[in-house]
Amino acid sequence: MQFLNKVFFSLFLALSGSSAFADYTWNFPTPATPMALDTLEVHNKFMVIVCIIFIVVLGIMIYSLINHRKSKGQKASKATGPSTKSQIIWTIVPFAILLYIDFILMGIPAYHSVVFMEDTKTNADMVVKVTGLQWRWQYEYMDGDAKGIKFVSNLSTPQDQIDNKASKGKDYLLEVDNRVVLPVGKKVRLLMTSTDVIHNWWVPAFGSARDAIPGYLRETWVKIEKPGVYRGQCKELCGKGHGFMPVVVEAVSEAEFKTWAQDQKVKLAAANAGADKQWSKDDLVAKGKEVYIKNCAVCHQAGGQGLPPTFPALTGSKIANGPIFGADGKYLKDSHLDRLLNGKNVMPAWKSILNDTDIAAVITYERNGLGNSVGDVLQPSQVKAARQ
């Protein structure tokens, strides 16, 4: 059978003339957590059961289709229901078997799986908050060694690959700039929420999928058993970027996790320190461009032309060219800074996603690039002050 599959696919590949195809699978990916293992076992068992039912019933049908033909001289019986004792038994037996399959053979393991899956709290070692945003994930470590670490994870596949202008990499669409790092062997409780629409955080190898719903906390858990990189995707339609917000988890040993957490804290401190220093305009514009490409270009487009009417153009926009601060030194309502910090309608509130330096940089970039030339500079310290 395996051989036949290979032949079939080689033939198909030859016909379609494409060689960039990676491996294919027929079933769930190799489980990496106890929950995924449980799910796979339950799934395999159920599949065997339904395949047996299907084959038995199909067999009976095919027997009848071959033998009970008019062309073979078959005279139609006039039975309209079971009449003799043995016929009644024949009718009740399949029904009883199905009752047994539904509520005993499938029902009992299914019950245990549900209870196992929903038990997020017992012996949980750490808590990570996952926030879905259009169209990226934000991770925040709530306790333990990594407490306070918070970052956003964006798709890192270049647009050229998506537009077929460059050849596609091995992890096409399943690669991000910042992987979420988790220690192996620890039960991690994942709290899910969202800031805009409903998303769903799904890694097939973990067997867990849970919606991230704005204004609500939902939870699931993972206990990764082997170090490695695990990839998944958003599984709830969340707008045009739905296919482009992957989940990439890097599972490492506990010691490595501690080192990673330490590194992140140092980087975070450096970034925060950056907020207090005076930046040059060129530095801000250069940094701002990076931030813009990563976070803003998906809607407002790389050249700032936007996708009206939903995503307005920044080039020549009133907000990006208007004043930021009023006479009293406070930022104005509906100013460029206000819009970035607090968002409006589809525009997210970036104050919880980007740090002061990033916000200052991207605003400076938008006012001095993308065809705009306001000429002013917004310093990170001003953003920091505006947050107060």
- Decide if residue 102 touches another protein (CB under 8 A): yes
Q: State the Cα–Cα distance between residues 234 and 151, nearest whole angstrom.
A: 18
Query: In the complex with another protein, which residue's Cβ is closer, 12 or 273?
Result: 12
Distance of CA 33 to the CA centre of its chain: 18
Q: Which is nearer to another protein, 312 or 369 (CB)?
A: 312
Residues 14-73 that bind another protein (CB under 8 A): 16, 18, 20-29, 35, 38-39, 42-43, 46-47, 50, 53-54, 57-58, 60-61, 64-65, 68-71
Stretch touching another protein by CB under 8 A, among 123-131, 138-146, 170-178, 355-363: 170-178
- 168 C-beta neighbours (distance < 10 Å), count: 15
Query: Does residue number 100 form part of the binding site for another protein (CB under 8 A)?
Result: no
Site for another protein contains 129 (CB under 8 A): no
| Closer residue to another protein (CB): 21 or 267 | 21
From the CB of 121, what's the least distance to another protein, in Å?
Answer: 12
DSSP string, 73-136: TPPPP---S--SHHHHHHHHHHHHHHHHIIIIITHHHHHHHHHHHH--STT--EEEEEEEETTE
- What would the two tokens of residue 367 be? 């006012």
The nearest distance, CB 70 to another protein, in angstroms, is 4
**How many residues interact with another protein (rule CB under 8 A)?**
106
Task: Tell me the sheet residues that pair with 229.
Answer: 250
Strand order from edge to edge, sheet including 188-194: 150-153, 136-141, 126-133, 188-194, 218-222
Closest approach, Cβ 74 to another protein, in A, equals 5
Q: In 10 A of CB 293, how many CB atoms?
A: 15
Residue 184: beta bridge partners?
Answer: none
Quick one: 111 or 147, whose CB is closer to another protein?
111
Site string for another protein, 202-241 (x = CB under 8 A): x-x--xxxxx-xxxx-xx-----------xxxxxxxxxxx
Contact assessment for residue 183 and residue 259, using Cβ atoms and an 8 Å cutoff? no
The tokens for 81 are 């229901």
Nearest approach in angstroms of CB 36 to another protein is 8
| Closer of 3 and 24 to another protein (Cβ) | 24
Closest CB to another protein among 45 and 384?
Answer: 45
Please give the Cα distance from 298 to 289 (Å, whole number): 13
